[in-house]
Amino acid sequence: MMARKLLLLLAAVSAGAMAQSQAPAPSATLIRNVAVFDGIRSLGRHGVLIRAGKIADIDYRSAPTADMKVVDGTGKTLLPGLIDSHVHAFQGQDDALLFGVTTQLDMFSAPVSTRAVRARMASGTNSKAADIFTSGILATVPKGHGTEYGFPIPTLTTPAEADAWVDARIAEGSDYIKIIDEPGTTVGRPFPTLDRATIHALVVAAHKRGKLAVVHAQSLATATESIEEGADGLAHLFIDLDGGSAFAQLARAHHVFVVPTYSVFEVFSGRSGGAALLDRPALNGLLPKTAVSTLHQSFGSDRSGKLDALEAANITALAKAGVPILAGTDAGNPGTWYGLSVHRELDLLVKAGLSPVQALTAATAAPASAFHLADRGRIAPGLKADLLLVDGDPTNDIGAVHDIVEIWKDGVAASPLRAARRSELANAAPEATAPPIALPAGGRIEAFANVDGKPVLKAQFGAGWQVSTDSIAGGTSRVSLSVAGAAPDGNAALVMSGEVTADFIAPWAGVGFSPGAQPFAPADISAANALRFWVRGEGKSFGLMGFSPAGGQRPAVAPIAVTSDWKEVTIPFASLRNFDSHNAMLLLVAADRPGVYKLEIANIRLIHTE
């Protein structure tokens, strides 16, 4: 009898264990007692139920069932997943979701860049990355803004081309149309752009096909004319003038939305504000070194005071007039990164005068409404379960939005992705660095010579010297070389002459030194901390450009003071912002403003100054 009871007991335990091992994983998630911000307003504390990738209930009051994973929301706030209304999605697509950004609106990239994520969206299998909607290729003229990135851009110049151009973009998968109205006035360098008639024709063509037309305009004049020609939204807020209530009322009357992209403009005003967010525990440890380096980039000395005043005036006026403001970062540019920069944009929108609630709406319900994304941007039954749970109350203190507790994308928790990324980065082998280079005696890195009437550009190490102009990106600037005469110290001088043309957004022409074994291969030249050489010349502007992985695709630039008389100049690497001499790829001496020029250089040395 005892044996029989023991066998029955063992069978019962075995059956229970089998049933437990075969029990299904929770198929629903219940977030209880959580403060809910629905994208427009705070709803108080509720229970929010997620099931089958959707929001099933926002006021669940029954007891949890066996198939529910229960999350305690006490002291926390639940928001819709954040939407970045201005990115360039050619990289970083795995990063945005880690920061609670569940949707990105791409404002220009090659269609191939977003093909994979859009295929996953179509098949319902994109729970591990932010969704992307895209303009694809932008509308611009030959040599206009958007043509400088090294891949072919179909351009147009007349209204008659608009219909065919828009049809081609839609065939490529564009969700909306991006138009460039950028003559270069805000960057101090003119370049060609679309005329008003062609902008109007593009807007009409887009609307006939049920597509929005969004315009890049960075001046009050171009923003005004873009609205007058029918634009649905502005991809930036102008940065040259205070538009006052007059512009705000114009935008309101035409039902236009505005994406300020404050976070990228502060970078171009010399302030890398987004990098400070890396000190927040919930945001730290999720980005590789290259992304962190990018976030630390900015341009020149800090001139952000003027920008802050303009942004405060214009954003406040727009908000007072009831113009929809959308949070966008222009991520893909220096000083920004996908996902993280939305957090910086929210801080800046509040700095400019929006309330925390208005700023949160700018990153949730407002872009969903503006771009007709009816399934997201709100917390309501039946919508996508793209959600962000944070500690505290960001509707009172916007800083609380940075204290991420959990993220859901299509109902799937992203915490495993965040944990995996942190583990991957923490356990990654140290990044390989280029072997240090022993500099030649005296540090001289050239031996220019004239051989049979032709210039010979010899180098003491590395891949050496070569001509470099903007022709690699479609520009037409030119340079010709000769070796003639000598500097006051007796060393032969390399003579560069030619013309920098104005038909490219960032023109240059000159010669560059590649210290690595192959052109653009990183090399460690940190034994030096400056470049010294003799120089004289005639022209508008000259600079030393330093390329390294820390600077991304854009060089660090320091001006070279040049006169018609020979003088010896020393340019510290410290003046080349974001240039890392441990991984130097190219040092380029060039003319960098439109006009005819002549430049002579001699006895170029890498040196170490005290």
Mean pLDDT, range 63-71, rounded to an integer: 96
In angstroms, what CA-CA distances link 345 with 9, 313, 317, 359, 391?
63, 16, 18, 9, 19
> Could you tell me the two tokens for 74?
């006490």
- What confidence tens digit (pLDDT) does each residue in 420-444 have? 999 999 998 765 555 788 888 889 9
Mean pLDDT, range 334-361, rounded to an integer: 97
Q: How many other β-carbons are positioned within 10 Å of the β-carbon of residue 6?
A: 10
- What confidence tens digit (pLDDT) does each residue in 182-238 have? 998 876 667 899 999 999 999 999 999 999 999 999 999 999 999 999 999 999 999
User: Which sign does the torsion angle of CA 293, 299, 305, 306 carry?
Assistant: negative
Query: According to DSSP H, which parts of 331-414 are helical?
Result: 340-351, 356-362, 365-370
Entry pTM: 0.77
Residues 357 and 350: their CA atoms lie apart, in Å, by 9
Residues 171 and 155: their CA atoms lie apart, in Å, by 16
Query: Are the beta carbons of 227 and 242 closer than 8 angstroms?
Result: no
Give the per-residue pLDDT at 431. Answer: 59
The overall average pLDDT reported for the chain is 91
> Could you identify the residue written with the tokens 């089998």?
18
The alpha-carbon radius of gyration of the chain (Å, integer) is: 28
In angstroms, what CA-CA distances link 543 with 182, 507, 552, 609?
25, 12, 18, 20
Q: Which of 148-157, 190-199, 466-475 has the highest mean pLDDT?
A: 190-199
- What confidence tens digit (pLDDT) does each residue in 250-283 have? 999 999 999 999 999 999 898 999 999 999 999 9
Residues 57 and 46: their CA atoms lie apart, in Å, by 10
> Could you tell me the two tokens for 234?
């502005």
Q: Cβ neighbours of residue 233 under 8 Å, at least 6 residues apart?
A: 212, 214, 215, 256, 257, 258, 259, 326, 370
User: Which sign does the torsion angle of CA 168, 172, 178, 183 carry?
Assistant: negative
Give the per-residue pLDDT at 25. Answer: 65
Query: Are the beta carbons of 172 and 136 closer than 8 angstroms?
Result: yes
Residues 349 and 362: their CA atoms lie apart, in Å, by 9
Query: Are the beta carbons of 602 and 533 closer than 8 angstroms?
Result: yes
pLDDT confidence tier of residue 457, bands split at 50, 70 and 90: confident
DSSP, residue by residue, 395-461: TT-GGGGGSEEEEEETTEE-HHHHHHHHHHHHHSPPPP-PPB-PPPGGGB-EEEEEETTEEEEEESS
Say what angle helices 244-253 and 304-321 make with each other, to 10 degrees: 50
Residues 226 and 497: their CA atoms lie apart, in Å, by 40
Q: Cβ neighbours of residue 610 under 8 Å, at least 6 residues apart?
A: none
Give the per-residue pLDDT at 11. Answer: 38
Q: Cβ neighbours of residue 373 under 8 Å, at least 6 residues apart?
A: 83, 103, 133, 367
Query: Are the beta carbons of 175 and 135 closer than 8 angstroms?
Result: yes
